[in-house]
Structure 1
Amino acid sequence: MIAIPAIDLREGACVQLVGGSYAEEKVRVDDPLEALKQWRRHGFGTFHVVDLDAALGRGSNADAIFQLTAFERGLTFSVGGGVRDTDRVEAVLAGGAASVVVGTRAIEDEAWLAHIAQAFPGQVMVAADVKGREVVTRGWTAGSARDVRDVLAALEPLPLGGLLVTAVHKEGQLSGVDLPLMREVASTSRHRLYASGGVTTMGDLRALAAAGAYGAVIGMALYTGRLDASAVAREFAG
């Protein structure tokens, strides 16, 4: 399993939010490149970038994203947040991302998802943001009335690059991961599982690896120093 630092963008800065709430911003790094450089120094080579403003229709951090993906050859980026049309999918991939993460429209428009998955096989990741068991959309502000198991079944035939499953109820709270959820996803889907939400300790990472996760996205625990970044990179950097 690989550990993947999160670089969440808001108003041009790198931030960490508690529970995805804009009112609960706990960490801010004014220059996202500084965050990237910090994680590179520890040995990380794979990163997950999210445009929070685009996800909520409040703006775009496209320039900052391009600066990140163009910083150093050989790094691997997944990029998401507000990717809701084919032109944006193409732009993200052309801009240097290895994979594009689609959430809201992927959940709401299965025909469109099938189209882009076929057009870019292995480069499209679907974000299944889960609160309790319901998959939520639109920057975690809207319910889909769909159970995560039903969503997984619909995604199974597609040539995806993976599933990014975020336990929204754990996000940013440093309270541990939703291991039963991640075990269920790993055991029921053939797609690579990238687990997110609540990673707090090395034990959490080892448990996710044992559960079958391919990757784990880490935010708050790294930015606050709760996790020793060098120790994580030594054991799990990809």
Structure 2
Amino acid sequence: MIAIPAIDLREGACVQLVGGSYDAERVRVNDPLEALAMWRAHGFRAFHVVDLDAALGRGFNTDAIRRLTLAGQGLTFNVGGGVRDTARVEALLGEGASRVVVGTRAIEDAAWLTEVANRHPGRIVVAADVRGREVVTRGWTAGSARDVADVLAALDPLPLGGLLVTAVHKEGQLGGVDLPLMREVAARSRHRLFASGGVTTREDLRALAEAGAHGAVIGMALYTGRLDASAIAREFME
């Protein structure tokens, strides 16, 4: 399993939010390139970039994303946040994203997801953001009334690059991961699982690896120093 630092973008800066709430920003690095350089120096080679403003319809951090991918040539970037049309998918791929993460429209528009996944096989990651068992959309502000198991079944036939499953109820709270959820996803789906939400300790990461996760996205625990970044990068390289 690979450990993947999160670089969440808001108003051009790299931030960490508690529970995804804009009113609960805990960490801010004004220049996202500083965050990239910091994690790269520790040995990380894969990154998860999210445009929080785009996810909530508050604008785009296009310049920051472009700067990150240009500065990190040779690294792996999964990039998402408010990606709701094919043109945006192709623009991000053209600007250096290794894979593009699609959430809201992917959950709400199966025909569009099928079309874009077949057009770019292996390069589309679907974000299934889960609160309890319900998949939520629109920057975690709207419920879909769909159980995660139903969503997984619908996604299974597609040529995806993976699933990003975020336990929203665990996000940013340094309280541990939702291991039963991640075990269920890994067991039900043939796609690679990128697990997110609540990673706090090395034991969390080891448990996710044992559960079958391909990667684990880490945010608050790295930015607040709860995890030894260099040790984590060494242990979870692949």
Amino acid at match of 2:233: A
Render the CA deviation track for 1:129-179: whole Å, top value 9, x for unaligned.
000000000000000000000000000000000000000000000000000
What TM-score do you get using the length of structure 2 for normalisation? Answer: 0.99
2:112 maps to 1:112: yes
| 1:195 to partner: Cα distance | 0.1
Q: Which residue of 1 aligns with 2:42?
A: 42
Between the two proteins, the alignment pairs up a number of residues equal to 238
CA distance in 1, matches of 2:92, 2:218: 22
Unmatched runs of 5 consecutive residues or more in structure 2: none
Once the two structures are aligned, what percentage of the paired residues are identical?
80
Root-mean-square deviation over aligned CA pairs: 0.5
Alpha-carbon distance, 1:113 to partner: 0.1
- Find the aligned partners of 2:37 and 2:204 in 1 and give their Cα distance: 25
Give the superposition deviation at 1:208. Answer: 0.1
Matched, 1:141 2:138: no
Partner of 1:59: 59
CA distance in 2, matches of 1:72, 1:133: 36
Which residue of structure 1 lines up, in the alignment, with residue 97 of structure 2?
97
| Large movers: runs of 4+ above 4 Å | none
Q: CA deviation at 1:65?
A: 0.2
Q: CA offsets, 1:178-237, max 9 Å, x none?
A: 000000000000000000000000000000000000000000000000001011001013
Matched residue, 1:192? 192
Deviations 1:74-120 (A, max 9, x none): 10000000000000000010000110000000000000000000000
TM-score scaled by length of structure 1: 0.99
8 A Cα contact 1:46 1:237, kept in partner:
no
Task: Give the secondary-structure state (helix, strand or coil) at the position aligned to 1:210.
Answer: helix
Which residue is 1:4 aligned to?
A: 4
C-alpha distance in 2 between matches for 1:105 and 1:237 = 32
1:40-98 per-residue CA deviation (whole Å, 9 max, x = no partner) reads: 00000000000000000001101000000010321000000000000000001000011
Deviations 1:25-47 (Å, cap 9, x if unpaired)? 00000000000000000000000
Q: Kindly provide the amino acid, as one letter, of the partner of residue 54 in structure 2.
A: A
Match of 1:204 in 2: 204
Contact 1:80–1:100 (Cα < 8 Å) also in 2 = yes
- What residue ranges of structure 1 are gaps of 5+ in the alignment? none
